[in-house]
Amino acid sequence: MACKCCESSKNEDVVVCPVCRKVGDNVSTETVKSLVNEDIELKDTKYHICKDHKCEVIYFSNNQVIVDSEVKVEVWYKEKSTPKVLCYCSNITTYDIDSAFQQNNELTFNDVIKDMKNEGDSDCLHNNPTGKCCHKVISQYIENLKQVIIRDGSY
């Protein structure tokens, strides 16, 4: 079960972060506008998000770098982010999923949607720093929890 906002997207260009030199993903200017602090003037129409977990850069373009202190939310995969928010529309954190997983180690994304998220209120384009749906991220997080059980024999 995917949110209505799930869409596949491809990187149109290979563009690297000017600070860490890692490849970034395209992100909608509308997403950037909704998440940067009000005092930040956007200088470009084509932005990318830095995917390196240690880099302080969140968004970048040909003419601009926007760092973590210039955005309204912490980006879940960045090292400094606490708590790790996986769904920005419903404020679902890794802690929430860990707690649910302790009660049900067969937890699925559909369970998370049913129990924790109001699917009708999804607005990933404006809430999630990537501008994309959380489906893949939450599903991967749950899969990683299951692998811990397989590897360690307990959670």
For residues 95 and 76, give the distance between their C-alpha atoms in angstroms, rounded to a whole number.
12
* Whole-structure pTM value: 0.83
pLDDT at 150: 75
Q: Give the pLDDT mean for 117-139.
A: 87
Would you state the structure tokens that stand for residue 143, as one six-digit string?
A: 């899969």
SS3 at position 47: strand
Q: Does residue 114 share a domain with residue 93?
A: yes
The residue-averaged pLDDT of 101-124 equals: 81
Question: What is the pLDDT averaged over residues 72-82?
Answer: 89
pLDDT attached to residue 8 = 44
- Give me 44's structure tokens: 């470009």
Whether residue 109 is contained in a domain is answered as yes
Q: How confident is the model at residue 60 (pLDDT cuts 50, 70, 90)?
A: very high
Q: Do 91 and 69 share a structural domain?
A: no
Nearest alpha carbon to residue 123 among 1, 26, 35: 35
Answer yes or no: do 95 and 60 share one domain.
Answer: no
Q: 68 with 87, same domain?
A: no
Q: Per-residue pLDDT averaged across 2-16, rounded? A: 59
In the prediction, which pLDDT does 11 show? 42
Q: Shortest CA distance to 77 belongs to which of 33, 124, 128?
A: 128
Contacts (Cβ under 8 Å, ≥6 apart) of 152:
none
Share of the chain above pLDDT 70, in %: 88
Is 55 a domain residue? Answer: yes
CA distance 13 to 33: 21
Query: Which residue range(s) make up the domain with 129?
Result: 83-155
